[in-house]
A and B are shown apart, each in its own frame.
Chain A
């Protein structure tokens, strides 16, 4: 009991100190690939709007299922447009807005020599382990499969071969978890679970910090697959939730997203 009282006093303290009414936190559900960027955006929002944010990062497909089943939620930021659009079609959410783009890149384990030109040949090499995320559960996996479909046009038979050999190492409900505070892609390549991994280009920053031996390779033009990320606000959300959505879309939020490697369409032109 005493602990409860203490907790209440402690939680009230900042509100008392700033003479602000204690605000209910806004709920933000977001794709795992948004974790670093949206954690920073949420902090900036908390500072400027004085509204706390409670975040939950999971693969987008799993989030959509959870939200469709009624898990309490307000803002949903997905690694594709389809999942939030599905919630909107079911009458559970409002209009869906494209708020950032991400591209798929290839990451190579330390010591493996790869260029954009040799990438497809090496992806097909039976001696090399090719990692991806899990299609359907995680849009990153879907995008890897789109890369395979595009490869078919360059080399007949490539699609089936790549789909057959791809190791779905993350993003599924049964995937082995990544050690906390580690980049999943970097961890898999460093431990030898994969030689090549198709993941978001936005992994480049954390990987460069954690595993400097891993190199990032841009996909050749013909294999290029980009992800449009969609944001929606669930019906019944608080006005503060809409404010968070608008903040993510505002130049301040977009600048943070860009710093994390996303293409941010809502950035004003230079010189402003």
Chain B
């Protein structure tokens, strides 16, 4: 849709968007759609949610903050820096297997515990994806006593932290870590399935068994100093158009109208 932006809107200042790395592809699509509908450009930056939260708390200028959990935007609200946090998407944690490694939901935990298998996760606290991986470990304890400590001890925190090596530009970081042999199994969001299928078709995705399943509620907030356009972007992400784009990228989108 090449709807001509309003003359007044053409000169609009960009809205600033801070968002979790796992939202990159979906929110770039949404930012494009928002700009073509409203004429308001979006200046987006992506990173681990915990690090973004810290930067915003330290006073970095921001308008919309979309996090891979509800806690971080709620923390900004508690600090008096932002308004109410809203759940705008859900994600789940999946296991991704390096090419050639075979597993099923039934023997996944055994394999994760195998000392010969390198288990990759993101970095807890800095990146909610790491927190969710550690939540999986806590659930594993109920399935197999001792599993939690063993998994926490062996997990390689390969992404999400301030010192982690980024993937080569344009490549999915988990696909890169698995293909390069740094990890045999990586616990990461199920929404990575799409980019991985394109970049590394031999990497298999496995849903976690029910006892280990951990879901992520993604939260969104608008910072107090935001412009009305910042609020509009937030509402757009929550609207059926924004929600449909999130769903296309594999998220569960709670604000989709029922079919028909």
Contact = CB atoms under 8 A, between A and B. Distances in A.
A233 B235 contact: yes
Interface in A210-252: 226, 228, 232-233, 237, 239, 242-243, 245-247, 249-252
A187 to B, nearest CB: 30
**Do most interface residues of chain B lie in helix, strand or loop, or is the interface mixed?**
mixed
**Do most interface residues of chain A lie in helix, strand or loop, or is the interface mixed?**
mixed
Contact of A98 (B215, B228, B232, B240): B240
B254 to A, nearest CB: 4
B153 to A, nearest CB: 26
A11 B40 CA distance: 40
Nearest to B234: A246
A246 B222 contact: yes
Tell me which of B232, B238, B240, B256 has the highest count of chain A C-beta atoms within 10 A of its own C-beta: B238
Size range of the interface on A? 20 to 34
B217 A272 contact: yes
A252 B257 CA distance: 22
Interface residues of B, number: 31
B86 A266 contact: yes
B94 to A, nearest CB: 17
Contact of A97 (B215, B222, B238): B238
A62 interface: no
A268 B70 CA distance: 9
Contacts of B226: 239
Interface string B226-247: 1010011011101111110000
Contacts of A261: none
Interface in A66-124: 81, 94-99, 101
A130 B79 CA distance: 54
B86 A96 contact: no
Given A94-B235, A95-B235, A226-B258, A246 B86 contact: yes
A250 B215 contact: no
Nearest to B229: A94
Contacts of A247: 83-84
Contacts of A232: 235
B255 A239 contact: no
A85 to B, nearest CB: 9
Interface in B81-116: 83-88, 90
A242 B228 contact: yes
A269 interface: yes
B159 interface: no
A269 B217 contact: yes
B239 A95 contact: yes
A253 B84 contact: yes
Nearest to A250: B84
A246 B239 contact: no
A187 B87 CA distance: 37
A253 B238 CA distance: 15
Interface of A: 81, 94-99, 101, 226, 228, 232-233, 237, 239, 242-243, 245-247, 249-254, 265-269, 272
5 contacts: A96-B239, A246-B222, A246-B234, A250-B85, A251-B70
Given A95-B236, A247-B83, 16 more contacts: A94-B236, A95-B232, A95-B239, A96-B235, A96-B239, A97-B235, A97-B239, A98-B240, A239-B228, A242-B234, A243-B83, A243-B222, A246-B84, A246-B231, A251-B85, A269-B217
